[in-house]
Amino acid sequence: MTPPADPPPKRTTYRHGNLRNALLDAAVELAREGGPDAVALREVTRRAGVAPNAAYRHFADRGALVHEVSQAAMAQVARTMEAELAAVPATDDPAARARARFRAVGTGYIRFATREPGLFRTAFHVPADMAYATDTTAAGAGGLTPFEILSASLDDLVTTGILPEDRRPGAEFLAWSAVHGLSVLMIDGPLRGITPDQADSAAQDVIDMIERGI
Amino acid sequence: MTPPADPPPKRTTYRHGNLRNALLDAAVELAREGGPDAVALREVTRRAGVAPNAAYRHFADRGALVHEVSQAAMAQVARTMEAELAAVPATDDPAARARARFRAVGTGYIRFATREPGLFRTAFHVPADMAYATDTTAAGAGGLTPFEILSASLDDLVTTGILPEDRRPGAEFLAWSAVHGLSVLMIDGPLRGITPDQADSAAQDVIDMIERGI
DNA sequence: ATTTTTATGTGGACGGTGTTCACATCGGGG
DNA sequence: CCCCGATGTGAACACCGTCCACATAAAAAT
C-alpha cells in the first residue's frame, strides 16, 4: 500500500542520462492507470526523481508529453492488431483467410480497448487547445498505422471477391465506426462492467454486422 | 472580447434564491464550450456571483456537479432524437414509416454529437474515481432515454416485418456502437474537421450499414 | 590544457484548481 | 419571539502547470 512508488533511485550524477525516456515511461504508466487526465507533469518528474521543471527541457508543455503518450498508445493498438493477425491460422482458401484477417483486425482493436482502457482513451485524446492536433502517425512493428492495417485487410476482401468493389470506398470508416463505438461503450459507456467473455462475444457480433452491412 | 462574462449582477440579498440552478446553468454552458474538463467549480461559482464554497451546499463535489451536467446533456440527446422523429413525414406505409423513424433516431444522435460536441462528450463522461457511475437515467421530453427511444424504433422494425425477430436481441448495441463510433470519430477522431455536409452523408452511410448488417 | 559555449537540471515563485474548517447571516417552524 | 437549520463567506491547504533566474557539467573551441 505505498501507492506513490518505489523510492526514487537517488541518482548521484547531475545528469540523468535518459530523462526523456524515463519521463515518457512514467507518463505512459500513468495514462495506463487513469487515462490522459492522470498524466500529471509533476508526478511524472517525481517518479523520474527529478525537479518538475526538468520536464520542460524535453517537452514543450504537458500537452506535448500527453501527445507523445498518445502516439505510443496508438502504436500499441497497431501492435495488438498485428498480434491478432499473426494468430490467424494458415489456410489454403484465400477468401477464408481474408475474412479471418479482417475479423482479426477488428478483434485486436476491441481487445486492446478493453484490456488497456487508459491507453486506449489516451490514444484518442485530442487536447482542448487543439495545439497538438498534428496527425503524426503512430505505427506498429510492421510500420503500418491501425488505419492502414484496416485498409489493407479491406483491400484483401476486395481482391478475394468477398467485398464488391463498389462498396470499398469509405468502408474503412464504416468498419472503424462500429468497432470504435463498441469499444467506447464498453470502456465508459453503458456496456461498461461487462465480463471479458461477453465483451468478446459482443465484438464478434459487431464484426458480423460490419461484414453484412459494409 | 470580454471572455470572462457580463458583470455578475451584484446580488443584494444574502441568499441567492436559485443558486443550484444558476450553478448548473453555468456548468452546462462551460461543458458546452469545452467538454467535461472545462467545468471548473470555481469558475462556475464565479459566474453565479458567489463564493467557491457555496457550491458545496448543493453538490457533494465537482464530480457530482459534472454528473448532473452529464444527465442534462443526455436528456438533450433524447430531445434531439425526438425532434428528428417528429420531423419524419407522415406515410401510410407502416414499414416505410418504421424505417424512416429508425433512421431518424440515428440521425438525431449523430446530429447532436456534431452540433454540441462539448455536451456530447460530457454526456458520456465517466469520472475517474467511478463514484458517480450510477446509471440514473436521463430522459427527454417524452420521458424516454436515448436507449429506450432506440429500442422502441427497433421494436417497430420487427413488428413491421423489416427486421427478423431472431435478429432483434442485442440489436440496440450493434446500432448504438456504429452510430456512437462515427460520432466520436467525427468529434475528436480522425474524421474531425469534416464539413457538416460530409458529416450528414457519413451518418447516412453508417445507418445504411446498420440496416443491412443488423 | 584551458576557456567558452551549450545542454540539462534546480529552486523559487505565481496563479489556477478542488476541498475543508470555522464562522456569518438569515428565514421559517417551535 | 426566538432559535435552529439552511445557506453563503473567508481563510487556508495541497496539488497542479508554468515561468524566471541560476547552477552544473559535458562538449566544443581555442
For residue B4, give the 3-state DSSP assignment.
Answer: coil
Separation of B75 CA and D9 C1' (Å): 34
pLDDT at A127: 78
How far apart (Å, rounded) are the C-alpha atoms in residues B180 and B150? 12
Among A27-31, A176-180, B10-14, B177-181, the minimum mean pLDDT is found in B10-14
Considering only CA atoms, which residue is closest to the C1' of nucleotide C27? B15
Whats the size of chain B, residue-wise? 214
Judge contact between A49 and A10, C-beta under 8 A: yes
* DSSP-based helix, strand, coil % in chain A, nearest 5: 65, 0, 35
| Integer CA distances (angstroms), A50 to A63, A80, B36, B125, B183, in order | 19, 33, 31, 33, 41
Say how far apart CA A155 and CA A163 lie, in whole Å: 9
Q: What is the full per-residue pLDDT of chain B (214 aa) written as tens digits?
A: 434 444 445 677 767 789 999 999 999 999 999 999 999 999 999 999 999 999 999 999 999 999 999 999 999 999 999 999 999 999 999 999 999 999 999 999 999 999 999 999 999 998 777 666 666 678 999 999 999 999 999 999 999 999 999 999 999 999 999 999 999 999 999 999 899 999 999 999 999 999 999 9
CA B29 – CA B48 distance, rounded (Å): 12
Q: Are A155 and A181 in contact (CB under 8 A)?
A: no
| Apex A89 CA angle, A83 and A94, nearest 5 | 110
In chain A, the domains with their CATH numbers are 73-213 (1.10.357)
Q: Strand D: which bases are under 7 Å from protein Cβ?
A: 6-12, 15-21, 24-26
User: In Å, what is the separation between the CA of B104 and the C1' of C11?
Assistant: 61
Name the closest nucleotide to A11, judged by C1' and CA: C9
- pLDDT above 70 covers a percentage of chain A that reads 92
Burial B83-111 (b: 16+ CB within 10 A, else e): ebbeebeeeeeeeebbbbbbbbbbbbbbb
CA distances from B171 to B152, B163, B197 (A): 11, 10, 28
CA angle B146/B151/B156 to nearest 5° reads 130
Q: What is the pLDDT of residue B4?
A: 40
Closest CA–CA distance from residue B33 to any residue of chain A (Å): 10
- CA angle A66/A41/A43 to nearest 5° reads 125
Task: Indicate if the alpha-carbon torsion angle A61, A62, A65, A70 is positive or negative.
Answer: negative
User: Is the sign of the CA dihedral A83, A89, A90, A95 positive or negative?
Assistant: negative
Which alpha helices (DSSP H) does chain B contain, by range? 19-34, 41-47, 62-86, 94-115, 117-123, 146-159, 171-188, 196-213
Which pLDDT value is given to residue A6? Answer: 42
**Run of H or E residues at B157:** helix B146-159
Distance from the Cα of residue B90 to its chain's centroid: 26
Q: Which residues of A touch B182 (CB under 8 A)?
A: 173, 177, 181
Q: Residue A200: pLDDT band by 50, 70, 90 thresholds?
A: very high
Q: CA B65, CA B195: separation in Å to the nearest integer?
A: 33
- As a whole number of angstroms, the distance between CA A117 and CA A88 comes to 24
pLDDT above 90 for A27: yes
- CB distance from B164 to chain A under 8 Å? no
Q: Is the pLDDT of residue A212 over 50?
A: yes
Write out the H or E segment, with its range, that includes residue A94: helix A94-115
CB B137 within 8 A of CB B70: no
Q: Closest CB to B128: pick one of A38, A174, A211.
A: A38
* Per-residue pLDDT, A85: 98
- Between B5 and A111, name the one with better pLDDT: A111
Q: Report the distance separating Cα A117 and Cα A139, nearest Å.
A: 19
Which residues are CB-neighbours of B102 under 8 A, at least 6 positions away? B153, B154, B156, B157, B211
| Residue B43 to residue B56: CA distance in whole angstroms | 14
Please, what is the average pLDDT of chain A? 92
Judged by CB atoms closer than 8 Å, whether chains meet at A209 and B211 is answered as no
pLDDT at A128: 75
Separation of A40 CA and D14 C1' (Å)? 15
HSE-up of residue A160 (Cα within 13 Å, Cβ side): 18
Cα separation, B204 vs A201, in Å, equals 27
Is the pLDDT at A41 greater than 60? The verdict is yes
Q: What chain A residue is nearest to B173 in terms of C-alpha separation?
A: A182
**pLDDT score recorded for residue B164:** 98
Checking each nucleotide's C1' against the CA of B56, the nearest proves to be C19
Q: Which residue of A has its CA nearest to B135?
A: A190
